[in-house]
Amino acid sequence: MKTMTLNHYLNQVLCTDEPALNLLFSRLFQEVTYTKNTMIYQKGKMPFFLCYLQKGAAMALSQSAPKRQVLRIWEPEQFICPVGFFSHAPMSHSVFTLEDCTLYMLHFKPLYQFLSKFPIAYKILNAIMKEEIRLLKRNIKSLSQNSGFQNHEALLEALSITYNE
């Protein structure tokens, strides 16, 4: 089963006390592949899904050149949880693939149908959000300590990334 990796991640890292619920939750996701330099979320558009990055890498950019800034990089086995998914707000930045990626996507409607059937599943969402906050704090700390993305233009050029709004 393709979503076994996601189920394993949920059981091992996030919500360790609900294995059956994790399995049901992981089956809601659909596997999607993206090629390098493909937009996952577009600035100004509503995000109607959250996704688990199984393979590849993704990056959030503030805007197109020349004032673009790298806001975040996601690695394999991380969730991409746009704030607007839960608050119904448009994206403040764009997220795109840095290489060919395999994602597991969960759209808004199936998630809320699942939550209405299994309210205890909010434990899983809470675990996902806590992990996202932990990773954001780590990212902010890394940026402030060693200025990791100061030369982001060189990074984007090295990766042959083009992005125009």
Mean pLDDT, contiguous 10-residue spans, the chain (165 residues): 72 77 90 93 92 92 66 87 86 90 94 92 86 80 58 53 55
Sequence-separated contacts (24+) of 141-147 with Cβ below 8 Å = none
Q: What is the pLDDT, as a whole number, of residue 1?
A: 46
pLDDT value at residue 38: 92
pTM of the model: 0.79
**Cα–Cα nearest to 8, from 21, 18, 22:** 22
In order of their start, the domains of the chain are 4-158 (2.60.120.10)
Q: What is the pLDDT of residue 106?
A: 94
Q: Which amino acid is at 105?
A: M
